[in-house]
Amino acid sequence: MFWFGLLVRALAPALRDPERREIAGLFLFAAIAIPVFYLPAMFFDGTTHFSVVDAWRFWIIHLWVEGFFEFFVTVMVAIIFLQFGVVARLTATRVIYLDAILYFAGGFIGTGHHWYWTGQTSFNLALSALFSALEVVPLTLITLDAWDFVRLSRPGSDPARERVEVPHKWTFYFLMAVGFWNFVGAGIFGFLINLPIVSYFETGTLLTINHGHAAMMGVFGMLGIGLIVFAIRQTVDEAQWLVLEKYVRVGFWGLNGGLLLMVVMSLFPAGVLQLVDVLENGYWHARSLAYTGGDLARLLEWCRLPGDLVFIVFGVVPIAIAAVRAYLKNRKTLPAADVRIL
Ligand code: HEM
Ligand SMILES: [Fe+2]
C-alpha cells in the first residue's frame, strides 16, 4: 500500500491531464491489484485445511504471475515506449486492452491448473487445462513485440532508431530478455508441465522448479532490473553513465548467462530424470531420499553451483554496484521535477 501511495504521488500530474489520464489510470489499476490480491493470504493459518490453503495460495501466486504482473508489465512497457516516442498513445492503449482481455480470459480460469489434484472436480480439470493452455497466446505476442524492438534498433530501419539506441539501450536489452524468458520459461517450460496427464506424474518435481525459476526471474526479475537500469540512466549524466554502463553490461550478461546455466546444467536435466523415475518406480520413490539422495541426483544438484555463481558474481553484484553508485552520486543534486514516470 505504501508502494501504491508512492505511485499515486508520482502519477498525480498525469491523472490531471486528460490526454495521459487513461494510461496512468490503467497503470494504477494494475498496481493496486497486486497488493489487493495478496489479501486472502491474511485469512488462513496452520490450522486451515490443506485444500483451502492451496486454493487461496494459488489465487495469489497464479493471479499475480499469470495475471496482474503480466498486465502491469504490458502497461509499464507501453509507457516506456511512449516515453521514447516509439509508439503512438492510441496504439499503446489498444495493445494494453487487447493484452488485458487475453491475459484475464486465460489467466483467471487457468488458475485451476494448480488445483488439478487438490480435490476439485474434473470440470475444473478440463476448463483450467484448456484456458491455461491459451495463456501461451499473449506470451507469444509479447515475444513478437520484443522482436519488433530488435528490428527497430537495427541501423537504418526506422527514424526512431536513434532515440531507441541512445540512451536507453540496456533497458531495451532487458526488455528483450523478458521476451526471451517469457517464451522459454513461461511458454515452453510452463506448457510442458501444464497438461493434466503430464502434471499427474510431474507435479512437485524439479521440472516445476525449472519452470518457476526460468519464468519468475526471467520475466519479472529481468523486468525489474530493466526498470532499475532505466531509472539509473534517467538520473545520471553522460560522464557518470560511461562508468556505470560497464557494470550494467556485465550485469546483463551475468544474470542471463547465470540463469541459463542453472536451467541447462541442473534444473531441466534433473527434472527430466526425476520424471523418468516417477514413471519407472513411482511418485513416492522419485520424491524419497532413495532417489534425491542418489549419486546422479546429487551431482546434478551440485551442477547448480556454476550458474548460481555467475548469476551472483557477474549479475547481482555489478547491478547492485551501479545502482548504489548512481544513488550516492545523485541523491543530493537531483531536482525532483526531473523524475517523471509518464
Ligand atoms: C511469466 C509467467 C509465469 C510465471 C512467473 C510462472 C511461475 C510459476 C511458479 C513460481 C510456479 C511454482 C508455484 C508453486 O508450486 O508454489 C509455477 C507453477 C506452474 N506453472 Fe507457471 N508461471 C508462469 C506462466 C505459466 C504458463 C504460461 C503456464 C502454462 C501454460 C504455467 C503453468 C504452470 C503449472 C501447470 C504449474 C504447476 C506445476 C506443479 O504444481 O507442479 N505457468 N509457475
Ligand atoms: Fe499458474
Residue nearest to atom 8 of ligand 1 (CA): 212
- The preferred substitution site among 60, 99, 208 for testing ligand 1, maximizing ligand atoms within 8 Å of CB, is 208
Ligand 1 center to residue 265 CA distance, Å? 20
Distance from C-alpha of 250 to C-alpha of 320, rounded to nearest angstrom: 12
- Verify cis geometry, omega within 30 degrees of 0, for the bond prior to 138: no
Compare 238 and 307 and report the one with higher pLDDT.
307
- Residue 267 has what pLDDT? 97
307, three cell numbers? 550458474
Domain boundaries, the chain: 1-166, 176-342
Which atom of ligand 1 is closest in space to residue 207's alpha carbon? 41
**Residue among 95, 218, 239 nearest 167 (CA):** 239
Q: How far apart are CA 99 and CA 33, in angstroms?
A: 16
When pLDDT is averaged across residues 289-312 and rounded to a whole number, the result is 97
| Cβ atoms of 60 and 50 closer than 8 Å | no
Q: What's the sign of the alpha-carbon dihedral 81, 85, 87, 88?
A: positive
The 10s digit of each residue's pLDDT in 25-52 is: 888 988 898 888 888 888 888 899 988 8
Ligand (nearest to CA of 57): 1
What residues have CB less than 8 Å from 211, skipping those under 6 apart? Answer: 185, 186, 189, 190, 192, 193
Hey, how many other C-beta atoms are within 10 angstroms of the C-beta on 255?
Answer: 25
Distance of CA 47 to the CA centre of its chain: 32
- Ligand found nearest the CA of 114: 1
Cβ 148 vs Cβ 176: under 8 Å: no
139 CA: nearest ligand 1 atom = 27
Length of the chain: 342
pLDDT of residue 51: 86
Q: How far is the CA of 211 from the centre of ligand 1 (A)?
A: 6
| Site to substitute for ligand 1 among 104, 193, 197, 267, most atoms within 8 A of C-beta | 193
Measured by CA distance, the residue closest to atom 12 of ligand 1 is 212
* 188 CA distance to ligand 1 middle (Å): 11
Of 65, 109, 184, 200, best ligand 1 pocket probe by most atoms within 8 Å of the beta carbon: 65
Q: Count CB-CB contacts under 10 A for residue 281.
A: 13
CA of 172 to the centre of ligand 2 (A): 27
Nearest CA to ligand 1 atom 33: 190
Please list every protein residue whose CB sits less than 6 Å from any atom of ligand 1. 61, 65-66, 113-114, 132-133, 135-136, 139, 186, 190-191, 193-194, 199, 202-204, 208, 211-212, 215-216, 219
CATH no. of 1-166: 1.20.210.10
Distance CA 125, CA 112 (A): 7
CA 149/CA 199 separation, integer angstroms: 35
pTM of the model: 0.87
Q: What is the CATH number of domain 176-342?
A: 1.20.210.10
DSSP 337: G
For the chain, what percent of residues have pLDDT higher than 70? 87
More confident: 305 or 94? 305
Do residues 126 and 113 touch, judged by C-beta distance below 8 A? no
DSSP label of 341: -
Q: Which of 128, 280, 111 is nearest to 196 (CA)?
A: 128
Cell matching residue 66: 499469470
Q: What is the CA radius of gyration of the chain?
A: 22
Residues 142, 73: Cα–Cα separation, whole Å = 10
* DSSP one-letter code for 17: S
In degrees and rounded to multiples of 5, residue 282 shows phi and psi of 100, 155
Q: What is the DSSP letter of 336?
A: G
- The pLDDT tens digits for 152-203 are 555 555 555 454 455 678 888 898 898 889 889 998 999 999 999 999 999 9
- Least confident range of 23-32, 101-110, 144-153: 144-153
DSSP for 39-60, written as a single string: GGGGG--TTS-HHHHHHHHHHH
Separation of CA 190 and ligand 1 centre (Å): 6
Among the bound ligands, the one closest to the CA of 194: 1
In this prediction, residue 259 has a pLDDT band, given cuts at 50, 70 and 90, of very high
pLDDT in tens, 57-96: 898 989 988 888 888 887 887 777 777 676 777 877 887 8
* The two domains 1-166 and 176-342 share their CATH topology (first three levels equal): yes
What single string gives the DSSP state of each residue in 251-283?
HHHHHHHHHHHIIIIIIHHHHHHHHHHHHHH-H
The bound ligand whose nearest atom lies closest to the alpha carbon of 116 is: 1
Mutate to test the pocket of ligand 1, among 69, 109, 114 (most ligand atoms within 8 A of CB): 114
Residue with the nearest Cα to atom 42 of ligand 1?
A: 190
Residue 23 grid cell:
494510461
- Identify which ligand lies nearest to the alpha carbon of 193: 1
Average pLDDT estimate for 111-129: 92
